[in-house]
């Protein structure tokens, strides 16, 4: 095996499992991209990101000399444009806002200052 850790090479996706994708690097060598290494963002399943027969660039993360297993990463070689597109897809899915309070109510320090006398009066009544 003539590969080195950190090397970027082309491969072809040959199989997809729930935990990752198998990539053929050459006639004798196959590696695995773990689901966490498919893309920088969260993906539910590998099928959302990769397809069998797809040609992709990958980086070699680790080579187990004893077993010959090769760990690969796709997210480390994605170009900035691809990353921006992936983030745009994710942000379009989550294009809504959550407010922890009702944004239409007039709360804040100004409101407290306006209602200070009534609040003090109410507090004094509770203490009695």
* Ranges of H-type helices in 11-102: 80-93
Per-residue DSSP letter, 55: E
pLDDT at 70: 92
Name the phi and psi angles at 111, rounded to 5.
-65, -40
Cβ atoms of 30 and 70 within 8 Å: the answer is: yes
Q: How far apart are CA 37 and CA 112, in angstroms?
A: 51
pTM of the entire predicted model: 0.60
- Provide CB contacts within 8 A for 17, sequence distance 6+: 46
Residue pLDDT, tens place only, 102-124: 555 555 566 677 878 888 888 88
Residue pLDDT, tens place only, 64-112: 888 888 999 998 887 655 656 655 555 555 545 545 455 555 555 666 7
Give yes or no for residue 61 having a pLDDT over 70. yes
């Amino acid at each position: 095996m003539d590969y080195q850790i950190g090397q970027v090479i082309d491969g072809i996706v040959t199989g997809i499992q729930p935990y990752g994708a198998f990539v053929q690097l050459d006639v004798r060598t196959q590696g695995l991209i773990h689901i966490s290494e498919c893309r920088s963002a969260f993906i539910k399943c590998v099928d959302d990101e990769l397809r069998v027969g797809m040609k992709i660039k990958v980086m070699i993360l680790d080579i187990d000399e004893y077993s010959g297993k090769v760990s690969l990463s796709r997210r480390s070689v994605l170009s900035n444009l691809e990353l921006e597109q992936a983030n745009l897809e994710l942000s379009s899915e989550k294009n809504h806002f959550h407010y922890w309070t009702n944004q239409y109510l007039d709360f804040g320090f100004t409101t407290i200052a306006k209602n200070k006398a009534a609040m003090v009066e109410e507090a004094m009544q509770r203490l009695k």
